[in-house]
Each structure stands twice: as C-alpha cells, then as structure tokens.
C-alpha cells in the first residue's frame, strides 16, 4: 500500500504540500491502474503489477489527519508494516531530491506524525520528496501551501519519473538497493 500525502480539493492541487498526491497520480498513470474507489476517508486506486496487488492511496482527511485514513485501510486490508510506503513533501530536502528511508521520525511533517500516532510505529518505508526551504522569512506552513513555481513545474515530470523508478526498484529489489540508487539529486534523463 502506497500512501501519498496531501490535502483534498482543487485549491490545493498544485501546492508543494500535495506532491505526495501528485506522485500517486503519476504512479497510477504509469501502471495504468484505473479502478478507483473511496473507502475509509481515502481515494484508493487499485491494480496489479508483476503479480502484486497494489493500493495507491490519497487520504481525504487533510494532511494533519492522514493517519486516520491510513490506519483504517492498513487494518482493513491487513497490510504488513513492511508493505506500507508513504510519499510526502519535505522542506529539508532541495527541490528535485528524493530520499528513501526504511523508518524514522516525522521530521516536522504533520501528516507523517499523524500516521506514526495512529499506527503506533514509525517503522514504515517512506519516500521523502524535496520541495526546498521557504525563501526569506516566509513561514514553512505558508510555503508548502503555495503552488510550485513555473521552473519547478517544468522539472516535476523528471522528479515524478525518478519516484516511479524508485518505486519499481523498491518492489523488485527492496529498500537497500533503492536507497543506494535513488538517494540523491534527481537528474534529467
């Protein structure tokens, strides 16, 4: 089960905070998954690849309550903690950088904190997607709720392609291989 974090609603669609939702949409398109349903306060896009049943999830609870929907689906589908992946924005990483981690704290990301609280563990894989730091004295909360710049929007397809390749590597060869290959700057192909 891959859970992309973001806020529901058209007004948030292009925000940096919604890069997790963007990644889920990109993965669904890449894998040609089209079975979409709503369950437990989340949109679920379901499909199979390489003999694996995958759930691509976008919680509809708003970012800070993402743990409610994630925990419900985690238990409903009886997902092993080893089979949970969370994709989320990270202001501590430069734009165009991803970091794959097998576990860890929330790092100030309130959606991840909510998931940790509701699952009672931080031992789940995540892909942190760099959105960069706010300029000047802008508050982080204001920055992540702004849309990507024109230049960043032009680069997003390369970032999403890298996330997709990292996701495929994770499914095929596991966390160590994925971290070795993808923890660094996103390079144009």
The rounded distance, in Å, linking the Cα atoms of 52 and 137 is 46
At 23, list the tokens.
């990644």
Q: Is 17 a catalytic residue?
A: yes
**Distance set, CA 14 to CA 11, 21, 99, 111, 175 (Å):** 8, 10, 21, 18, 29
Residue from 3, 167, 174 nearest 85 by CA: 3
Q: Which of 16, 17, 99, 118 is catalytic?
A: 17
Half-sphere exposure of residue 5, counting CA atoms within 13 Å on the CB side? 29
Question: What are the catalytic residues?
Answer: 17
């Amino acid at each position: 089960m891959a859970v992309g974090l973001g806020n529901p609603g058209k007004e948030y669609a292009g925000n940096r905070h919604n890069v997790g939702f963007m990644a889920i949409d990109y993965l669904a398109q890449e894998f040609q998954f089209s079975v979409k349903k709503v369950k437990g306060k989340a949109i679920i896009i379901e499909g199979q690849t390489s003999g694996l049943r995958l759930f691509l999830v976008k919680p509809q609870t708003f970012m800070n309550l993402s743990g409610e929907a994630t925990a419900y689906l985690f238990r409903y589908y009886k997902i092993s903690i080893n089979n949970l992946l969370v994709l989320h924005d990270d202001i501590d990483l430069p734009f165009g950088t991803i970091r794959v981690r097998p576990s860890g704290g929330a790092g100030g990301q309130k959606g991840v904190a909510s998931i940790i609280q509701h699952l009672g563990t931080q031992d789940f894989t995540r892909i942190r997607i760099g959105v960069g730091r706010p300029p000047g004295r802008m508050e982080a909360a204001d920055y992540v709720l702004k849309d990507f710049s024109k230049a960043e929007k032009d680069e997003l397809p390369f970032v999403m392609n890298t996330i997709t390749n990292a996701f495929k590597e994770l499914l095929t060869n596991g966390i160590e291989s994925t971290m070795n290959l993808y923890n660094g700057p996103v390079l144009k192909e």
